[in-house]
């Protein structure tokens, strides 16, 4: 598995909301989740997106 570091994780000033566990949202609308919540929140977001019936782009 390739690892993608969040490019702005060292830029403290760009964080808009930060939670005590380590999750945060940046001023430009990106979310970064802590290790504890990463998997759970990704699954939750993906299931919400499926409920919204958004069309998936399949790239092969």
| Structural contact between residues 25 and 15, judged by C-beta atoms closer than 8 angstroms | yes
Rounded CA gap, 27 and 18, in Å? Answer: 11
Helix (H, G, I), strand (E, B) or coil at 17: strand
Residue 23 engages Zn ion in binding (rule: CB under 5 A) = yes
Nearer to Zn ion, 36 or 48 (CB): 36
Q: Where are the alpha helices (H) located in the chain, listed in sequence order? A: 38-51
* Sole binder of Zn ion in the list 34, 44, 45, 49 (CB under 5 A): 34
Residue 21 engages Zn ion in binding (rule: CB under 5 A) = yes
Residue 17 engages Zn ion in binding (rule: CB under 5 A) = no
List contacts with Zn ion (CB under 5 A). 21, 23, 34, 37
């Amino acid at each position: 598995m390739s690892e993608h570091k969040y490019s702005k994780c060292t830029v403290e000033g760009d964080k808009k909301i930060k939670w005590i566990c380590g999750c945060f949202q940046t001023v430009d609308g990106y979310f970064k989740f802590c290790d504890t919540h990463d998997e759970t929140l990704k699954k939750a977001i993906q299931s919400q997106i499926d409920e919204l019936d958004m069309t998936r782009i399949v790239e092969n």
